[in-house]
Structure 1
Amino acid sequence: MGNPTQKIKTSESTCPAALLKGEIPSRFQSFWAIGNLDILNTNLLGVFCSIRCPGSIILNTYDCMRILHDSGVAVVSGFHAPIEKDGLDILLKGT
């Protein structure tokens, strides 16, 4: 049922390279994760939006989400702002 929770130690050879960058290994000995860790070795994009933004940015964001929904890029966001929620709906229709 679902994906199991797993502990990732930064000292182990199986730790994804994305978790070994910069100061991460010296500050964190381990992480907890759920799901496919291979996603950390792909292109990642963080999306953060204000609840107050101009209409032109909203339209561009919708266009961007439509492009991303089949691009293979993993999108990370809190999906709290209305535009982020709409973007999540678009992304979930893709691959």
Structure 2
Amino acid sequence: MSPVQSRAARGLLGWSEAELAGKAGLDAGFVRDFEAGHGDPPSGQLEVLRSALMAAGVAFTEDGSSGVRLGPAGGEGIRADALTTENDR
């Protein structure tokens, strides 16, 4: 997830930095710094942010557009790198 995707996802949900931080159990300063492009945040913390957004219905597009969209709350389904012939139905 990029800083731009995070800001766009929050915008779709109408969440402030503090609201996203609270739902992810992180400090609002972390969200602010990440979205401003400061530092190199640990991937685990980024995954926590991404998971909080996905649980609210945000789906991330990874087709080169680095976009976001709203879908049903609860996640985006199976990630492309986890697809197999068994779950490709």
Judge same fold: TM > 0.5, yes or no.
Answer: no
Higher helix share: 2
| TM-score, normalization by structure 1 | 0.27
Higher alpha-carbon Rg: 1
Higher strand share: 1
